Amino acid sequence: MSDDMLRAPAEVKYAEELDWLESIDDGPKPFSWRLSPRMIRLFILGSERSDGLDREIPQKWFGDRSFVERSIVTLASDRGLLLIGDPGTGKSWLAELLSAAISRNSTLVVQGTAGTTEDHIKYSWNVSMVIAKGQSRQSMIPSPIMTAMERGVIGRFEELTRSTSDVQDALISILSEKYVSIPELDDDNIVFAQPGFSIIATANSRDRGVNDLSSALKRRFNFVRIPVVTNKKSEAEIVRFRTEELLRRHRIELDLPPTLLDILLQSFADLRSAAAAATSDDEKMESALSTAEQIGVLEDAILHSHFFGDRTLRAQTLAGSLVGSLARRSPEDLAILNKYWHGVVEPRSKKAGGEWPEFLEGGREAIATLS
């Protein structure tokens, strides 16, 4: 079934694995949860030999286990969960995995934007049915959040801080009262949340000041801050995991040379250090230089090599993809990259050799093309 989708949700992608875990799960389950908290943690973080399972469960989210445990405990309470952190730290992926493991449905999602309205988190109306038969529960279109309430499952709200204060205020009522009133109806005009309902929201820490959360809304959430991955080994595992998924999706047979992955990781680490030492915004890349952006750079390089190259990933292609992906402002970003290539990549290529000279040349060509 997942082969028929461009991107299958976690509950479809890992359906067989979730079925197996459910069949052996004898732990206590809150509400109507499909898996116990221990099995949810195992599903997300992967199994260990000490778990004594008959099969290996691969790790799907890479981060501190305490973040996962606190998230699960929060959802077992009557509070919402807010995952907050920089772009590319895996907040949405963790939210999806939690929803899939708890409810076997991660698709009840509201995407927060400046255009998100109260209707998107409560309900709207089928205009043609209202004209024909009047307002009724049949002519009402429930939002994903209301659907989650009625089913007693997890609802998700992406990019909460991008929504206006009116939308955030409407969410306060849902989190506090656990019901939605429908004043347009005389009968059957309240939707109560069923046991198991909760909300997982995500927020970008870089959006501070866009639409700050009110203190009232903050009190309805438990905050779990997801830090940027700084451990090189963990970051390499994340990039490799996501890249292998990409290769399987596109049915591409292409080796990822460890030396090129090291170059990519080192380049991002260097650029992050330069950004941290910068004294003004003009000296910083517009890019967040996140793990997700590393994956994007590698994805671009792999697809370019597959469709326009000799189906071998080369340092020159990787350099071109890095420059093309990160140079969003001209001339500021190009100036930063040019300085990095001359001040760091050039001396390193002379000292370390290997793939670095080709990476140096590829970056120079890309910068010259875009300048």
Place of tokens 């820490």: 205
Q: Mind listing the pLDDT tens digit for each residue in 227-251?
A: 877 777 888 888 888 888 778 777 8
* Residue 220 sits in the same domain as residue 236: no
Regarding whether 163 and 245 lie in a shared domain, the answer is no
Q: What is the DSSP string of 221-233?
A: EEEEEEPPP--HH
Do both 191 and 257 map to the same domain?
Answer: no
pLDDT at 230: 72
Q: Is residue 269 part of a domain?
A: yes
Residue 5 forms part of a structural domain? no
DSSP assignment string, 176-201: HH-EEE-TT-SSS-EEEPPTT-EEEE
- Per-residue pLDDT averaged across 23-27, rounded? 94
CATH number for 89: 3.40.50.300
Q: Are residues 219 and 93 in the same domain?
A: yes
CB atoms within 10 A of CB 310: 8
Query: Does residue 238 sit in the same domain as residue 195?
Result: no
Residues 190 and 109 in one domain: yes
Higher pLDDT, 210 or 127: 127
The per-residue pLDDT for 90 is 87
Q: Specify whether 175 is located in the same domain as 48.
A: yes
Per residue in 286-322, pLDDT (tens digit) is: 887 888 888 899 999 999 998 898 888 999 999 999 9
Residue finishing a domain among 172, 195, 225: 225
Host H or E run for residue 151: helix 144-151
Q: Is residue 161 part of a domain?
A: yes
Domain-terminating residue out of 190, 225, 260: 225
Q: What confidence tens digit (pLDDT) does each residue in 77-126 have?
A: 988 999 998 887 889 999 999 999 999 999 999 999 888 999 999 999 99
Residue 348 to residue 2: CA distance in whole angstroms: 44
Residues 167 and 184 both lie in one domain: yes
**Which residues constitute the domain of residue 320?**
232-370
Q: Tell whether the model's pLDDT for residue 37 goes beyond 70.
A: yes
**Looking at residue 41, what is its pLDDT?**
96
186 and 65 in a single domain? The answer is: yes
What does the alpha-carbon distance between residue 97 and residue 369 come to, in Å, rounded to a whole number? 41
- Say if residue 238 is in the same domain as residue 215: no
**N-terminal to C-terminal alpha carbon distance within the chain:** 46
- Is 131 within the bounds of a domain? no
Whether residue 82 contacts residue 217, with contact meaning beta carbons closer than 8 Å, is answered with no
Mean local confidence (pLDDT), 269-276: 89
Q: Do 367 and 338 meet the contact criterion of CB atoms below 8 Å apart?
A: yes
118 neighbors 170 (Cβ within 8 angstroms): yes
- The count of domains in the chain is 2
Predicted local distance difference test score (pLDDT) of residue 5: 76
Residues 364 and 236 in one domain: yes
Task: Judge whether 78 lies within some domain.
Answer: yes
Same domain, residue pair 279 and 177 = no
Q: Is 47 within a domain?
A: yes
Tell me if 99 is assigned to some domain: yes
Band (3; pLDDT cuts 50, 70, 90): low
Which of 225, 245, 269 finishes a domain?
Answer: 225
User: Does the residue 303 lie in any domain?
Assistant: yes
